[in-house]
Amino acid sequence: MGLDHRTALERATEEAFRIPLDTLDISRSDRFAENIHGPFFARLRRDAPVHFCPESMHGPYWSVTRFDDIVAIDADHGTFSSQDNIVIGDAPPEFAPPMFIAADPPVHDVQRRAVTPAVAPQRLSELADLIRVRIAAVLDGLPRGETFNWVDRVSIELTTQMLATLFDFPWEDRHLLPLWSDATTSSETVGNTVITMQRRQEILMECLAYFQRLWAERKAAPPKFDFISLLAHNEATANLADNPLEFLGNLMLLIVGGNDTTRNSMSGGVLALNQFPREYDKLRADPGLIPNMVSEIIRWQTPLAHMRRTALRDVEFRGQQIKKGDRVVMWYCSGNRDERVIERPDDFIIDRSRARHHVSFGFGIHRCMGNRVAELQLQILWEEIMKRFERIEVVGEPKRIASNFVLGYTDLPVRIAA
Q: Which chain residues interact with ligand HEM by CB under 6 A?
A: 74, 100-101, 112, 166, 253-254, 257-258, 261-262, 265, 298, 303-304, 307, 360-364, 366-370, 373-374
Closest CA relative to residue 149, chosen from 179, 190, 191? 191
DSSP class per residue in 279-323: HHHHHHH-GGGHHHHHHHHHHHH-SB-EEEEEESS-EEETTEEEP
- Name the burial class of residue 141, with classes exposed (0-12), middle (13-18) and buried (19+) by CB atoms within 10 angstroms of its CB: exposed
Nearer to ligand HEM, 131 or 304 (CB): 304
Least distance to ligand HEM, CB of residue 403, Å = 14
Judged by CB, which is closer to ligand HEM: 31, or 77?
77
Query: To the nearest whole angstrom, how small is the minimum distance from the Cβ of residue 116 to ligand HEM?
Result: 9
Closer residue to ligand HEM, CB minimum distance, 195 or 214:
214
Instruction: Give whichever of 9 and 124 is closer to ligand HEM, judged by the CB atom.
Output: 124
CA distances from residue 329 to 64, 309, 357 in whole angstroms, order as listed: 6, 6, 20
Closest by alpha carbon to 389, among 160, 135, 27, 127? 135
Give the separation between CA 32 and CA 35, rounded to whole angstroms: 5
Closest approach, Cβ 74 to ligand HEM, in A, equals 5
Min CB(146)–ligand HEM separation in Å: 29
Pick the closer one to ligand HEM by CB: 10 or 173.
Answer: 173
What is the DSSP annotation of 106-156? THHHHHHHHHGGGGSHHHHHHHHHHHHHHHHHHHHTS-SSSEEEHIIIIII
Q: Which is nearer to ligand HEM, 253 or 414 (CB)?
A: 253
| Nearest distance, CB of residue 23 and ligand HEM, angstroms | 28
Q: In the complex, what is the shortest distance from the CB of residue 82 to ligand HEM, in angstroms, rounded to a whole number?
A: 7
In this complex, which beta carbon is closest to ligand HEM, that of residue 337 or of residue 366?
Answer: 366
Query: 308: buried, middle or exposed (CB in 10 Å: 19+, 13-18, 0-12)?
Result: buried
Max intra-chain CA distance, the chain = 64
- Alpha carbon separation from 251 to 26, 120, 211 (Å, rounded): 31, 19, 8
Q: In the bound complex, what is the minimum distance in angstroms from residue 252's beta carbon to ligand HEM?
A: 10
Q: Among 305, 307, 291, which Cα is nearest to 374's?
A: 291
